[in-house]
Structure formats: structure tokens, C-alpha cells
């Protein structure tokens, strides 16, 4: 156990799985002294986004802006938006979010809360971002677009972007990275991905990481099973060259 009096706990993409989140937090049992951080994508795809947002908002836990919250904001705060943009969000899980709210109406205070979510958090030895960073530009120039959406360009970096910080992210389901099985965390050069695909039929695992004690808590939303693993046991190392090769193959295709 760590000698510190509190734990730093990071929760991966919940995607509307409120019951799974409650089971996970019951297992982790955070105290009032613990620092709890959500990596964004509280909403969409799963059945109870409204409950997830209400819980995290009222618990005053730290939360990042995810790309799914950003899609919602693009629609609800930009006045007239193209029908194609609305359809893209609904197709990406937004329909489940709307259905989770009473009378299919997202409250103004929830939208305002989304608007105030940060795109990254610097915890000293750790940087939290929903998706990652664009390795070709300085941190000060990173926009919400990069921090919420980047994928291969970040996962294929050959050396840490921040030499003295581990970047912890969600956004990309870990088993979509080369060599990673469902439920495993993925680690690359200076980054750790903990989005284990709670909503995905191939996985169902929702992950909480106790950074302080190097423990991984997971609940499977399909069958409500729980497990706790040492971080080193839960992680698969990702070869950046394989990520880059797959990106090039997709471009050729």
C-alpha cells in the first residue's frame, strides 16, 4: 500500500453504463480523501447516460471532456447545425443518450456542465487526456479536437511525448490496438490506455485504475463479474511500429 493518505483513481469510458459504474465504485470504495477522475465519454451507446451524468456531476468528481460530450455540445450549443451532424451523433450512440432522459430532453444544467469540462488535467507526474495528444505540436497548442479525437498518430509515437509524465487516456478501445486482448489495458511509449470497451459486445469491461497502489478494478457490464488485478498483470505492451503499419495499411486500402 502507498504511504499517502489518499488514492488517485481514474475511471475509463463509461458510455452510459450506470449500473456497471456503481458496481465498480462499490469495489473500489473511494473515500472522501481519494481523488477520482473520469476520462470523459460518460454518455452515448449505453442505456443510462442521464444517470451517469447526474451521478458524476453531483459527486463533484473530476471529469474530462470526451469526444462524445463534444459531439453533443456541437449540436446543442451551435444553433442551426447540419442534419448530417445530428445524424452522426445519434448513430454514434446519441440516440441512447436522448432516450435516457425524461421526455427525451437533456437538461440545461447538464449541457452547461459539459461546457465547463476540461480537455486535460495535469497531475504532476501524470497527464490525463480523453484521447491523447498530437505528438507533432507542443502541449500549449493542443486543441479539443486533438485531445478528444486523436488515435494512431498518438499510439504510434516511438518515445514519450512528455518525458516526465505518464499520459493516461481512454477513447480508443484497447483491443483494437495490435496484440491486445479484450479487457487488457494497453501501454505504449509514455502512455497508458484504460478504455476496455464497456459498451462493446466483444468486451464489456469497465475499468478503474488505482494509480497509487497500481491496481486495476474491472466490472463486466454483460454479466456483472468483478476482478482486481495488479497493473503489471493487466497491461499489454503495444509496439508502435505495428500501430503505424496498420495505419499505413488502412490508408492504402
14-66 pLDDT, tens digit each: 999 999 999 999 999 999 999 999 999 999 999 999 999 999 999 989 999 99
Query: Is residue 252 very low, low, confident or very high in pLDDT (cuts 50, 70, 90)?
Result: low
Q: What is the pLDDT of residues 83-99, one digit of tens each?
A: 999 999 999 999 999 99
Among candidates 126, 138, 109, 9, which has minimal Cα distance to 62? 9
Q: What percent of the chain has pLDDT over 90?
A: 90
C-alpha–C-alpha distance, residues 33 and 5, integer Å:
7
β-pairing, 126-129 with 166-169?
Answer: parallel
Query: Is residue 253 very low, low, confident or very high in pLDDT (cuts 50, 70, 90)?
Result: low
Residues 6+ apart with CB under 8 A from 83: none
Give the per-residue pLDDT at 82. Answer: 87
227 has pLDDT over 90:
yes
C-alpha–C-alpha distance, residues 106 and 97, integer Å:
9
Give the per-residue pLDDT at 2. Answer: 46
Q: What is the DSSP letter of 139?
A: G
- The arrangement of strands across the sheet holding 215-220 comes to 62-63, 35-38, 8-11, 205-210, 215-220, 226-230
Give the per-residue pLDDT at 4. Answer: 61
Q: What is the pLDDT of residues 125-160, one digit of tens each?
A: 999 999 999 999 999 999 999 999 999 999 999 999
C-alpha–C-alpha distance, residues 35 and 193, integer Å:
19
Q: What is the pLDDT of residues 171-223, one digit of tens each?
A: 999 999 999 999 999 999 999 999 999 999 999 999 999 999 999 999 999 99
Please state whether the predicted TM-score (pTM) of the whole model is above 0.85: yes
Report the Cα 42 to chain-centroid distance in Å. Answer: 8
Give the per-residue pLDDT at 1. Answer: 43
Long-range contacts of 32-36 (CB under 8 A, 24+ apart): 33/5, 33/6, 34/6, 34/7, 34/8, 34/9, 35/6, 35/7, 35/8, 35/9, 35/62, 36/9, 36/10, 36/11, 36/61, 36/62
Amino acid at each position: 500500500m502507498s504511504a499517502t493518505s489518499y488514492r488517485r483513481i481514474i475511471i475509463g469510458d463509461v458510455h452510459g453504463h450506470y449500473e456497471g459504474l456503481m458496481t465498480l465504485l462499490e469495489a473500489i470504495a473511494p473515500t472522501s480523501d481519494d481523488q477520482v477522475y473520469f476520462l470523459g465519454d460518460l454518455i452515448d451507446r449505453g442505456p443510462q447516460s442521464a444517470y451517469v451524468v447526474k451521478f458524476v456531476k453531483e459527486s463533484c468528481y473530476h471529469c474530462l471532456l470526451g469526444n462524445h460530450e463534444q459531439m453533443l455540445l456541437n449540436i446543442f450549443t451551435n444553433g442551426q447545425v447540419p442534419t448530417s451532424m445530428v445524424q452522426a451523433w445519434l448513430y454514434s450512440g446519441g440516440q441512447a443518450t436522448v432516450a435516457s432522459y425524461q421526455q427525451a430532453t437533456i437538461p440545461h444544467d447538464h449541457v452547461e456542465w459539459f461546457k465547463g469540462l476540461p480537455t486535460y488535467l495535469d497531475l504532476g507526474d501524470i497527464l490525463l487526456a480523453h484521447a491523447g495528444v498530437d505528438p507533432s505540436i507542443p502541449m500549449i497548442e493542443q486543441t479539443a479536437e486533438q485531445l478528444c479525437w486523436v488515435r494512431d498518430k498518438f499510439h504510434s509515437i516511438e518515445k514519450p511525448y512528455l518525458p516526465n509524465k505518464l499520459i493516461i487516456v481512454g477513447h480508443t478501445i484497447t483491443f483494437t490496438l495490435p496484440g491486445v486482448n479484450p479487457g487488457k489495458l494497453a501501454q505504449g511509449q509514455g502512455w497508458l490506455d484504460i478504455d476496455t470497451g464497456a459498451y462493446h459486445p466483444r468486451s464489456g469491461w469497465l475499468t478503474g485504475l488505482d494509480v497509487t497502489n497500481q491496481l486495476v478494478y474491472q466490472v463486466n457490464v454483460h454479466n456483472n463479474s468483478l476482478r482486481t488485478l495488479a497493473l503489471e498483470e493487466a497491461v499489454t505492451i503495444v509496439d508502435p511500429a505495428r500501430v503505424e503499419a496498420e495505419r499505413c495499411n488502412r490508408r492504402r486500402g
